[in-house]
Amino acid sequence: MDERNAEYYYGRVKEILNRNMTERCYKLWEGLNQMLPTIYNKPTSSTGKHHKKLNGDVPSQAEHIFHLIYSAEILLRMFNINPKTSEADLLFLAISLHDSLKYGDHGSRKFTDKTHDKLAADMIEGNREALLKIFEDEKVSILAEMVRFHSGRWSTDVPRDGKFDFRNFHPYTFFIHMLDMMSTNDLIQTDVR
């Protein structure tokens, strides 16, 4: 994994978040980012079996997040969302946090943690009081839901009976899942290509 590649994409992530988030939420993201494990330079697939690009490379976490954030910025109009609003904050914060614990609570796991969706959503729920300084209670719940179910039917908290239907969730949850799956399958074209 090329460290310069991850640094470049991490810089682009910061630019897009700063351009689209309110100042308060961007500062919150910066603070969270200092507390969360630094995994931007790690591959999205620890085994190299998944998330492959057309050339066979596996992108860094930074490149993966960039794909989602780049696409979300373009697609905000689909949900009639303007930049620098609470709704934009919600989407961009969820995207930036969805894989934040992919290598475990401390970022030190050798392989990706299959329960990272649950870990990150539980972290959001555990920090509800801090998030209430920026979001209404309902939006904190939506934020946690988006992160908890970003893997769709493969999410950790899907009932064992396997019954999962996005119609039972906030539309943003499907939006995050859709972007994640498109990136995973190398279907997002950015200005970098």
Give the other-Cβ count within 10 Å of 127's Cβ.
15
Report the alpha-carbon distance of residue 21 to residue 85 in Å, rounded: 7
- The H-or-E segment that residue 15 falls in is helix 3-20
- Closest to 171 in 3D by CA, of 117, 99, 115, 91: 91
CB 66 within 8 A of CB 190: yes
Tens of pLDDT along the chain (193 residues)? 466 789 999 999 999 999 999 999 999 999 999 999 899 999 998 888 888 888 888 999 999 999 999 999 999 988 899 999 999 999 999 999 999 999 988 888 898 999 999 999 999 999 999 999 999 999 999 999 999 999 999 999 998 887 899 999 999 999 999 999 999 999 988 887 6
Ordered structural domains, the chain, with CATH: 3-43+52-184 (1.10.3210)
